[in-house]
Chains A and B, each alone.
Chain A
């Protein structure tokens, strides 16, 4: 980095060279920059997507309404937190279904789940989907924060080729779609997430940093005007590509301006991570910790995380399961395989419980960070064996700033679009889209009144 190098305190160098995977002490962490001035805290939304469905026999709570009885096996790790969330039954992601198209359920599931539109079958260049629920929010309120949204993923390497029966991998790997044709790839490298949130130059003095921002602005200015000139001399498709580029340039310009206004930067309270932690739980924790810091410091209010890409074949050796997740879910009711799937499902909810506990431990205005959030946990498939896209496993944690009454199991009418939930979530962030994908309204009964 150019200016950073000047007059860098020795201490930071030490810290940088040895940057280990440090986990932030969130409880004691005080963000260096002030919270929004008004008393009320903004509502944050997040989507946790788990691939390959969930064994619903061990998911659906026995009670309707208040969940008095002990939670079933997969939700059991969340038992002590059950006052903090609702389990929502019978929601459907209709466009994940084969309908007239046929196989490719994994290719469609994640894409259809978040967007509520038809997933255009192609393994080629002509991707076509819709704006995902999180981006509906980000496109509306994203300018209020440094980052409009944060996309995370826990699967590093990508496969080549089409991912499922002629559906491009882009559909299975990307939850967030900014436009019909532009997916926002999740970041899976912890260091890249860190740098996206906090910048590469957190060791810089305020004066040097301000100077650097000035230079960045002048460079981006120059690039913008250059691109504008270029656009007038190229064909329509090329112009579209350059438009996309220019939009991104403008977005970075905006971020720079925002950083200039803030003056001070955020102290993340953690060292820059180095590589991907070898154990899955460490990886999960590190990435979700950064999501929490981003929420806590109001760097963004919208986040998505793919616990695995749809159709993931990750094996979970951490809990003694060497088989790939996806092949296991095609268990054909084989007991041994069913058991392994259930163990993976439980492992995921256990990690999610740790995340919720942490969110609950963070003070945020009058309440906790969890109180002010709406965190949807679920999958675009229920039964991974036969690929069902209705009666989806769905859990909504957090009170959305007091707009959601928690602690209940709510069973909706069959075929209620899961997009209705998403519309209800973003609405609580002050976004009022006519619809989100195929939503037909809002979910009734989330707030008790």
Chain B
């Protein structure tokens, strides 16, 4: 084959030009010297990729090649780059061929295996089914994840340990829902020895409550502030929620005037508590007077402190729980007919589909067995409910399989389930099920209206918590343990504040239907006093979060959220590599391949100590086998060096000034993190495709496959055309064929089994 100089190729002659003229010459002149039979640098040998047919035959390899060329990572430094129009002609040609091939592929919605409810879904479903708040995260072993998410059907298994926990949980939840077990006699428990005193005027107690019932929580105080002591506002809270505020007297009492040195006083509150661990807290609010009293004994140091807790209970709940009334609609003592009446709607709700009478009867039988064993009617009903909660119809989401190889629209009821587990991580509600039963849900207008309603509902916070929490990895904050010496500001409250910021930001974009480019550069956020201080933003007081408009170039979008910056750091320092990798994986959808086996790890330990950090990286990058990945990764990571390992802004790392500037392999350069984000924003289609793939993985509970590419592309383009609106993206997924259809499984194995029978 004759080769001709690349410069001779002019853009005008390139449109629609064949492979032999726009692709092959570039490969021959710019690539083949390293990627050939002999050297196959980076395990890539182009010898077999010189024909148009290879585009289809070796699609995966070609995708990688074109990505590297597009971003300018290839050809590497040292090889003169082909002119920009030559590069774009090549990329356009190859991508157009891909698209042609994708369009020619038969429509394939893929298959989703029966999905077990994961821990979050289990908790939410139990909440919506019975009104019981059950914390599966604390009761069940962790769910494994695939493709970065913990709702992937093929990975969710049922181990014997989990099964045992299911059985135990089912009994617990049923008992809480019905409350038929007699309570033990109430007792009074002095918790003095377990109280934690947390600074002036604050005490806490962590305790386990064994029975869901009413309890009296009594806070005891000791001491006084002399004759003039003014009452101090005191707040009692349980699990972070204030349950009572009361003025506690701090002056001498009469009794004390007569000789006693200390006074005791107490406040109490009666509350309903679910079984499980609880945190009780008592604190003086805005106690200015207390602050002026120096600690320790001596004149002028009279003070009052919260001293201990007492808990009395369990008492029968003061009023019957509303949820219970909804479930127990007749007196189960009346016999099997009533039990059936109670169980029928529950079974239907729990199975999330229509049911036959014969599906209810076994549960009635369980109750009868329990009655025969001597349990009271309420307890017997509890066993029926417990049985319901371990049923495979409850624990799994199972869809009807079309005939082998056939593609079929899923039923409206299945659609309702997919939709509600996608947006709410829970079961469909009454309205959704009613529409599905009438087979109206799949109608475009109805579906659109439901989508809007569901996103507006508070339950859609689940999408922020579970999707965004895993996409942006902010869930990993629970495992983050920044070095308390280097980062003294770090504590559990700050961690929660970080999580809340990202959560609320995502919800804002989702509910207000803002452009997804806001994730990269939205000039607003949600802060409370603590987090604002962390960011060096003045004028925000109090613990509540509020929307704050940002005008400093230091913060905008999620990449400058402390949550994201912390999870992409080591405990004691930042890591440009971790952050670069984070951006490639989560924002650009270009996860770096594993480094080759013979490459030594980068010595990251010297960072900040010798001040030669960048040099060290440059050195690493000088090796062409490293350069191809690190050229992009390190530039991204270094751009965020202005943020320390907990996301605080800094201009110096140790003694050395931070230099965030960088140049991408495609020649575009920036001087600050804000400018780097503008470059990311300039390539919105890339980010849109990445987010679409992530959201689709989460929505479908399976990995995005090659046959999904066309759909991904389509949704991404739709979103682009509509100003990158978030709800357009979500709607695009919901309306897509993979979300609404299902392919019957090839029966190769099944036939074998049938034959064996």
* Chain B min CB distance to A183 (Å): 7
**Is B113 an interface position by the 8 A CB rule?**
yes
**Is A227 an interface position by the 8 A CB rule?**
yes
* Chain B min CB distance to A256 (Å): 9
Most buried by B among A104, A178, A223: A223
**Is B441 an interface position by the 8 A CB rule?**
no
Task: Report chain A residues within 8 Å CB of B387.
Answer: 219, 222-223
* Chain B min CB distance to A410 (Å): 31
* Chain A min CB distance to B291 (Å): 29
Task: Report chain B residues within 8 Å CB of A165.
Answer: 594-595
Task: Report chain B residues within 8 Å CB of A182.
Answer: 157, 159
A160-B744 in contact (CB<8A): no
Contact residues, A168-208 vs B (CB, 8 A): 168-170, 173-174, 178, 181-187, 189, 192, 195-196, 200
* Chain B min CB distance to A204 (Å): 12
A102-B393 in contact (CB<8A): no
Task: Report chain A residues within 8 Å CB of B322.
Answer: none
Task: Report chain B residues within 8 Å CB of A14.
Answer: 187, 189
Task: Report chain B residues within 8 Å CB of A230.
Answer: 392-393, 398
CA distance in complex: A187, B160 (Å): 12
**Is B138 an interface position by the 8 A CB rule?**
yes
B145-A160 in contact (CB<8A): yes
**Is B209 an interface position by the 8 A CB rule?**
yes
Contact residues, B589-606 vs A (CB, 8 A): 591, 593-597, 599-601, 603-606
**Is A38 an interface position by the 8 A CB rule?**
no
In the complex formed, the residue of B with least CB distance to A126 is: B154
Task: Report chain B residues within 8 Å CB of A219.
Answer: 167, 366, 383, 386-387, 390
**Is A255 an interface position by the 8 A CB rule?**
yes
* Chain A min CB distance to B614 (Å): 17
Partner of B138, one of A189, A238, A244: A189
**Is B258 an interface position by the 8 A CB rule?**
no
**Is A357 an interface position by the 8 A CB rule?**
no
Task: Report chain A residues within 8 Å CB of B604.
Answer: 327, 330
Check A315/B483 contact, CB under 8 A, given A5-B211, A219-B366: yes
**Is B652 an interface position by the 8 A CB rule?**
no
CA distance in complex: A255, B165 (Å): 13
A249-B163 in contact (CB<8A): yes
B207-A18 in contact (CB<8A): yes
**Is A282 an interface position by the 8 A CB rule?**
no
Task: Report chain A residues within 8 Å CB of B164.
Answer: 196, 252, 255
Check A125/B393 contact, CB under 8 A, given A17-B208, A187-B161: no
CA distance in complex: A341, B686 (Å): 42
B152-A315 in contact (CB<8A): no
Check A234/B181 contact, CB under 8 A, given A123-B147, A159-B476: no
A125-B594 in contact (CB<8A): no
Partner of B210, one of A13, A156, A174, A244: A13
Q: What is the 8 Å Cβ interface bit string for chain A, positions 214-251, against chain B (1 contact, 0 not)?
A: 11101110110011001000111110111011011101
Task: Report chain B residues within 8 Å CB of A272.
Answer: 208
**Is B470 an interface position by the 8 A CB rule?**
yes
B171-A17 in contact (CB<8A): no
CA distance in complex: A324, B483 (Å): 9
CA distance in complex: A184, B606 (Å): 39
**Is B282 an interface position by the 8 A CB rule?**
no
**Is B580 an interface position by the 8 A CB rule?**
no
A125-B747 in contact (CB<8A): no
CA distance in complex: A365, B370 (Å): 42
A245-B145 in contact (CB<8A): no
Check A20/B147 contact, CB under 8 A, given A160-B473, A248-B163: no
A248-B162 in contact (CB<8A): yes
Contact residues, B358-388 vs A (CB, 8 A): 362, 365-366, 369-370, 373-375, 379, 382-383, 386-387
* Chain B min CB distance to A132 (Å): 13
Task: Report chain A residues within 8 Å CB of B168.
Answer: 195, 200
**Is A313 an interface position by the 8 A CB rule?**
yes
Check A334/B161 contact, CB under 8 A, given A200-B168, A215-B369, A227-B392: no
Task: Report chain A residues within 8 Å CB of B181.
Answer: 1-6
CA distance in complex: A159, B239 (Å): 25
Task: Report chain B residues within 8 Å CB of A4.
Answer: 181
Task: Report chain B residues within 8 Å CB of A211.
Answer: 373-375
Task: Report chain A residues within 8 Å CB of B599.
Answer: 103
B365-A222 in contact (CB<8A): yes
CA distance in complex: A447, B483 (Å): 47
Check A238/B114 contact, CB under 8 A, given A2-B181, A4-B181: yes
Task: Report chain A residues within 8 Å CB of B111.
Answer: 235, 237
**Is B206 an interface position by the 8 A CB rule?**
yes
B182-A5 in contact (CB<8A): yes
Most buried by A among B369, B386, B473, B486: B369
A237-B373 in contact (CB<8A): no
Number of chain B residues close to chain A: CB under 8 A = 109
**Is B62 an interface position by the 8 A CB rule?**
no
A238-B572 in contact (CB<8A): no
Task: Report chain B residues within 8 Å CB of A234.
Answer: 114, 398, 401
**Is A317 an interface position by the 8 A CB rule?**
yes
B703-A125 in contact (CB<8A): yes
**Is A337 an interface position by the 8 A CB rule?**
yes
Partner of A10, one of B149, B184, B365, B470: B184
CA distance in complex: A178, B593 (Å): 30
A223-B160 in contact (CB<8A): no
B745-A275 in contact (CB<8A): no
B161-A236 in contact (CB<8A): no
- The stretch among B87-95, B172-180, B654-662 that forms the contact with chain A is B172-180
Partner of A2, one of B138, B209, B379: B379
B603-A330 in contact (CB<8A): yes
Most buried by B among A6, A235, A245, A317: A235
* Chain A min CB distance to B645 (Å): 11
Partner of B745, one of A185, A235, A274: A235
In the complex formed, the residue of B with least CB distance to A238 is: B114
**Is A79 an interface position by the 8 A CB rule?**
no
**Is A162 an interface position by the 8 A CB rule?**
yes
Partner of B473, one of A103, A148, A161: A161
CA distance in complex: A252, B382 (Å): 20
B158-A98 in contact (CB<8A): no
**Is B116 an interface position by the 8 A CB rule?**
yes
Task: Report chain B residues within 8 Å CB of A10.
Answer: 184-185, 187
**Is B334 an interface position by the 8 A CB rule?**
no
B749-A236 in contact (CB<8A): yes
Partner of A185, one of B141, B148, B174, B373: B141
B148-A123 in contact (CB<8A): yes
B146-A235 in contact (CB<8A): no
A159-B597 in contact (CB<8A): no
* Chain B min CB distance to A33 (Å): 19
Task: Report chain B residues within 8 Å CB of A330.
Answer: 601, 603-605
**Is A151 an interface position by the 8 A CB rule?**
yes
A332-B175 in contact (CB<8A): no
A103-B594 in contact (CB<8A): yes
Check A183/B144 contact, CB under 8 A, given A2-B180, A13-B187, A17-B189: yes
In the complex formed, the residue of A with least CB distance to B394 is: A223
Listed in ascending order, the chain A residues whose CB lies under 8 Å from chain B are: 1-6, 8, 10, 13-14, 16-20, 98, 101-104, 122-127, 148, 151, 156-162, 165-166, 168-170, 173-174, 178, 181-187, 189, 192, 195-196, 200, 211, 214-216, 218-220, 222-223, 226-227, 230, 234-238, 240-242, 244-245, 247-249, 251-252, 255, 272, 274-275, 313-315, 317, 322-324, 327, 330-332, 334, 337, 385-386
18 residue pairs of the A-B complex, CB under 8 angstroms, read A1-B181, A3-B379, A5-B182, A17-B189, A18-B189, A102-B594, A125-B702, A157-B476, A169-B145, A185-B159, A219-B366, A223-B390, A223-B392, A235-B744, A238-B114, A241-B153, A272-B208, A327-B572
- The 5 A-B residue pairs whose C-beta atoms are closest, nearest first, are A5-B181, A125-B154, A157-B479, A165-B594, A322-B483
Given contact pairs A103-B597, A211-B373, a sample of 8 additional A-B residue pairs in the complex whose CB atoms are under 8 Å apart: A1-B181, A101-B594, A222-B362, A245-B163, A248-B162, A248-B163, A249-B163, A386-B600
